């Protein structure tokens, strides 16, 4: 009965949603800022960069175009531009509020992956109106104003506050008052009060920094007019945390910034830890590992940390040319005994992390299955199905989700079905409640595969485990008024025809790059007795993130609409998932063919368990 329920629930939630539920999928949305066509192939702009799109959430663009041609013959350009979500839905894929894109940079030919790209109705409307300009259709959406009057700023701030009070789940999490928080941020910039006119991007920064105080790892405010983390110049290296310290490595992973001095101690004369602290106001006040991981990744954007003299003649009040000048870094050998000062020239090309480790799923020589899941998307589900069939006779399974920033929960539901026996009880992996805004329907958490704990759709076995789990559920934060009833994610056998019971031990590899749906993945599966977590704690975030735009400035705001807990009462946000065995990677991990001591330790875990 339980297996049948999971099959029916999964099918109904994904493909037979009620009209209200279907509205929560972004049916009219796009992740692209602009689309142009070269022959029969699209080229897309994201921020200021043009790309050839290769896949959307793991679905190949070529197959999307084929679907458009079959469904709307002769209208491929129109439908790919205006009905991308519907085309993907026809291919049995539902996109979320953000998507993962695989793209080829048209300037340098490099192929890379962009994660958490906002997938919004505003972008789709702009694409539609740009395409229909001059055809009698509605005129294109207006552009965001470069600056705002004082009255407009005050009006935008009030709209921002009202929307947060209506929709933001973590508004009261830290006991912070919204009004003084925004006022303090304004005073820190303008001691005599708001000026008569304010650049729109500066209002976005004020709102973003205020929002960061509340600890929501999914939150943010941004203006298309200026995104400092997407503005050149950049560092010609990337940073990562290791057992020896912070590593400076080349974006192509072929080595360190300096072969003999891989550890970076200072940048532009400031210790790395001090730069991390300086960037803290721009990063959600979440778990320590989230804050450090995001700060290290942000340092590639020089405008975020380099201090230069102001120049009224220059762009946005800063001397951009000065930022392009070389800067100094202090490096150290692995043992810390020797240091080196190096002059580094910034680059105009934004370095990207990509998927790392760049491993493929396989059976290791020790007869241990290795399942690599770099993203929580449809491709992950296919990868699990394909490889679990090959792992049946392995002595153990390593599930590597390091660097996985999230996506959907389908991979969790899929893998969970292999890790329990047919007669095992289901188990609760997540409790949550959402803000009761009029903008959210009663099925607001359906895409998270969650139902109210008193839903009649649960089976008897599921109701039993929910009741037992609720008795032991003592949330670390007592929800204030304005939330829905409790919802639960219940896991177990799904009834899929390929499913079987994998009986060997399982090790999951985690790090601070794990976030959102990957937090849920780790938190739900670590409950099982045969599962061990190795590596370092995940960042911590589970939000049912949703967004709104301010009416005049068109500043885009995202915030959590859901408060999400582990069954042990801990919030995902601010904590992350701790590991059973803490191991930081060696410095060489960040380079091609470098030592992966975390993976080696996982393999050793099976050797020791056999003794």
Query: Using an 8 Å Cβ cutoff, are 498 and 444 in contact?
Result: no
For residues 435 and 294, give the distance between their C-alpha atoms in angstroms, rounded to a whole number. 27
Q: Which whole-number Å values give the CA distances from 376 to 24, 297, 401, 524, 577, in the listed order? A: 19, 21, 9, 14, 17
Q: Which two tokens stand for residue 114?
A: 């962009």
Q: Which of 135, 41, 23, 130 is nearest to 82 (CA)?
A: 130
pLDDT value of position 74: 67
For residues 138 and 384, give the distance between their C-alpha atoms in angstroms, rounded to a whole number. 46
User: Using the 8-state DSSP alphabet, how is residue 556 labeled?
Assistant: E
Q: Which whole-number Å values give the CA distances from 152 to 159, 190, 194, 522, 604, in the listed order? A: 11, 17, 11, 45, 62
Helix or strand holding residue 380 (H, E):
helix 378-390
Task: Enumerate the β-bridge partners of residue 240.
Answer: 247
Q: Which of 117, 144, 128 is nearest to 28 (CA)?
A: 128
Q: Which of 376, 370, 402, 355 is nearest to 537 (CA)?
A: 402
Task: Enumerate the β-bridge partners of residue 298.
Answer: none
Helix or strand holding residue 582 (H, E):
strand 581-582
* CA-CA-CA-CA dihedral for 539, 543, 546, 549, to nearest 10: -60
Q: Which two tokens stand for residue 442?
A: 């009663």
pLDDT value of position 109: 85
For residues 164 and 21, give the distance between their C-alpha atoms in angstroms, rounded to a whole number. 23
For residues 505 and 322, give the distance between their C-alpha atoms in angstroms, rounded to a whole number. 56
The whole-model pTM stands at: 0.79
pLDDT value of position 9: 45
Q: Which two tokens stand for residue 25?
A: 């999928």
pLDDT value of position 498: 94
pLDDT value of position 311: 42
pLDDT value of position 455: 95
For residues 15 and 490, give the distance between their C-alpha atoms in angstroms, rounded to a whole number. 19
Q: List domains and CATH numbers for the chain.
A: 22-131 (2.30.42), 229-344 (2.30.42.10), 362-610 (3.90.226.10)
pLDDT value of position 540: 98
531-535/506-510 β-pairing: parallel
Residue 212 CB partners (closer than 8 Å, separation 6+): 219, 281, 282, 283, 284, 285
| 3-state DSSP assignment of residue 465 | helix
The DSSP line for 404-426 is ---B-SHHHHHHHTTSS-TTPPP
Query: Using an 8 Å Cβ cutoff, are 574 and 540 in contact?
Result: yes
Query: Using an 8 Å Cβ cutoff, are 515 and 406 in contact?
Result: yes
pLDDT along the chain (611 residues), means of 10: 45 35 56 86 89 93 87 78 87 86 89 90 84 43 86 97 97 96 93 93 96 97 85 94 98 97 97 96 97 97 75 48 91 97 96 94 96 93 96 97 95 97 95 95 92 96 98 98 98 95 98 98 98 98 93 95 98 98 98 96 84 49
189-197 long-range CB contacts below 8 Å, 24 or more apart? 194/150, 194/153, 194/154, 195/150, 196/149, 196/150, 197/147, 197/148, 197/149, 197/150
Peptide bond into 62 cis (omega under 30): no
pLDDT value of position 229: 79
pLDDT value of position 5: 44
pLDDT value of position 17: 37
For residues 101 and 541, give the distance between their C-alpha atoms in angstroms, rounded to a whole number. 21
For residues 10 and 586, give the distance between their C-alpha atoms in angstroms, rounded to a whole number. 41
The DSSP line for 103-138 is EEETTT--EEEEEEEE-BHHHHHHHHHHHTTTTTSP
Helix or strand holding residue 606 (H, E):
helix 597-610
pLDDT value of position 463: 97
């Amino acid at each position: 009965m339980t297996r049948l329920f999971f099959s029916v629930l999964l099918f109904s939630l994904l493909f037979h949603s009620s009209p209200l539920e279907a509205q929560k999928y972004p049916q009219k949305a796009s992740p692209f800022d602009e689309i142009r066509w070269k022959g029969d192939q699209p080229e897309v702009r994201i921020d200021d960069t043009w790309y050839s799109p290769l896949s959307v959430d793991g679905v190949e663009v070529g197959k999307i175009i084929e679907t458009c041609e079959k469904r709307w013959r002769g209208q491929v350009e129109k439908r790919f531009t205006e009905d991308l979500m519907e085309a993907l839905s026809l291919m049995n894929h539902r996109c979320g509020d953000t998507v993962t894109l695989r793209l080829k940079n048209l300037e340098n030919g490099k192929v890379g992956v962009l994660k958490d790209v906002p997938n919004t109705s505003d972008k789709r409307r702009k694409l539609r109106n740009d395409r229909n300009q001059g055809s009698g259709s509605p005129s294109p959406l207006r552009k965001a104003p470069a600056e705002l009057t004082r009255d407009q700023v005050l009006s935008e701030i009030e709209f921002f506050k009202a929307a947060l009070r209506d929709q933001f789940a973590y508004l009261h999490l830290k006991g912070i008052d919204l009004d003084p928080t925004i006022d303090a941020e304004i005073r820190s910039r303008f001691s005599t009060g708001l000026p008569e006119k304010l650049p729109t991007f500066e209002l976005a920064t004020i709102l973003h920094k205020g929002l960061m105080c509340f600890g929501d790892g999914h939150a943010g405010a941004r203006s298309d007019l200026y995104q400092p983390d997407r503005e050149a110049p950049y560092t010609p290296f990337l940073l990562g945390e290791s057992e020896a310290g912070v590593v400076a490595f080349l974006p192509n992973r072929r080595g360190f910034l300096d072969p003999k001095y891989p550890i970076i101690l200072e940048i532009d004369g400031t210790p790395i830890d001090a730069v991390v602290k300086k960037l803290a106001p721009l990063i959600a006040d979440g778990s320590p590992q989230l804050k450090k991981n995001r700060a290290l990744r942000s340092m590639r954007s020089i405008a975020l940390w380099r201090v230069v003299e102001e120049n009224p003649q220059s762009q946005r009040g800063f001397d951009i040319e000065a930022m392009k000048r070389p800067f100094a870094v202090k490096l150290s050998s692995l043992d810390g005994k020797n240091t080196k000062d190096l002059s580094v020239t910034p680059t105009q090309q934004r370095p990207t992390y990509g998927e790392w480790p760049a491993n493929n799923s396989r059976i290791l020589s020790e007869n241990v299955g290795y399942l690599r899941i770099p993203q929580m998307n449809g491709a992950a589900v296919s990868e699990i199905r394909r490889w679990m069939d090959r792992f049946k006779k392995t002595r153990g399974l390593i599930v590597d989700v390091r660097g996985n920033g999230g996506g959907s929960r389908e991979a969790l539901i899929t893998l969970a079905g292999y890790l329990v026996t047919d007669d095992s009880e289901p188990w609760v992996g997540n409790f949550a409640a959402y803000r009761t805004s009029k903008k959210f329907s009663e099925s607001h958490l359906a895409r998270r595969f969650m139902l109210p704990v008193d839903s009649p759709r649960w089976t008897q076995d599921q109701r039993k485990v929910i009741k037992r789990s609720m008795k032991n559920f003592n949330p670390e934060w007592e929800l204030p008024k304005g939330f829905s009833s409790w919802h639960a994610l219940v896991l177990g056998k799904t009834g899929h025809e390929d499913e079987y019971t994998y009986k060997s031990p399982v090790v999951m590899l985690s790090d601070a790059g794990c976030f959102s749906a990957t937090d849920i993945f780790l938190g739900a599966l670590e409950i099982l007795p045969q599962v061990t977590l190795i590596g370092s704690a995940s960042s911590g975030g589970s939000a049912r993130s949703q967004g709104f735009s301010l009416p005049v400035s068109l500043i885009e705001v995202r915030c959590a609409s859901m408060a999400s807990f582990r069954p042990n009462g801990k919030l995902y946000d601010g904590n992350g998932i701790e590991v059973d065995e803490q191991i930081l990677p060696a410095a060489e991990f960040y380079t091609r063919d470098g030592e992966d001591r975390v993976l080696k330790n996982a393999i050793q875990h099976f050797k020791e368990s056999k003794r």
